[in-house]
Amino acid sequence: MSGLSDALTGRHALITGGARGIGLACARALQQRGATLTLLGRNQTALDEAVAALGSQATVRAVVADIADEAAVRAAFEQATRDAGAVDILVNNAGQAVSQRFDRTDAALWQSMLAVNLTGTFHCTQAALPGMLAAGWGRIINVASTAGLIGYAYTSAYCAAKHGVMGLTRALALEVARRGITVNAVCPGFTETNIVREAVSNIVSKTGRTAEAARDELAARNPQGRLVQPEEVAQAVAWLALPASASINGQAIAVDGGEVMPG
């Protein structure tokens, strides 16, 4: 039986938004299990720093693309495939959250939230899936959010996009269930990332509360009274990528301290 350090040896994992936060934590967790990595993001400098932090340029590469741009995604995946072979594990992690009251949410904000959080997941999945089908093996893991499972006030566009990711996850999981491919979602609660730091700044600017009070407000949603750490999300992602997780398909795994529980 393969050990933790080599369970994914020979597998190529591509992580979107892989330069920082949850994406970088996922990259590290998959690397620890033997996977070869491609980090995809928009900022070359941040990607280069992430590759250096992971410490092995022989097995870690980076490609630049905006996941909302279909042509750019296709080109990035072609490059990644030339460098490291077909993508076996796709972690759709890249995302963005903007808070706004619904009556102040204009069409531009609505479209931007859909483009990054939902359409980007669609583009990357379409680019990776043919190689998985040809190989008869694959793992597609969508980093969604508890906002894809319940509603949050003042984030209607983001919630709608993440609910869309959940619908895509479940539908595609059924389509490929007999092809050796699984499709699942990991749904973090409020996590110690740039998105949460931006949310704290937004609360401070709009309410005049201190940053500490704003962080406490977000952490209070978690029954454990704390923010989730990126590494905790990454462990769930890495588990779903394992060959031994082949029966887990079409699921939404909440990493939130118990905030969201199925009825």
Strand pairing category for 12-16 and 89-92: parallel
Find the helix or strand (DSSP H, E) in which 123 lies: helix 120-135
Residues in the chain: 263
Q: Which residues contact 62 (CB under 8 A, 6 or more apart)?
A: 18, 19, 38, 39, 40, 41, 44, 47, 48, 50, 51
Q: Which of 50, 158, 159, 259 is catalytic?
A: 158
Of 75, 23, 69, which Cα lies nearest the Cα of 50?
Answer: 23
Backbone angles phi, psi at 37, to 5 degrees: -115, 145
Of 194, 253, 202, 204, which Cα lies nearest the Cα of 227?
Answer: 194
Q: What is the rounded CA–CA span in Å between residue 9 and residue 143?
A: 23
- Contact yes or no for 180/223 (Cβ under 8 A): no
Q: What is the rounded CA–CA span in Å between residue 39 and residue 37?
A: 6
- Contact yes or no for 25/93 (Cβ under 8 A): no
Q: E-strand spans in the chain?
A: 12-16, 36-41, 60-64, 89-92, 138-143, 181-188, 252-255
Q: Quick count: other Cβ atoms within 10 Å of Cβ 249?
A: 18
Residue 152 falls in the annotated catalytic set: no
Q: Which residue numbers are catalytic?
A: 158
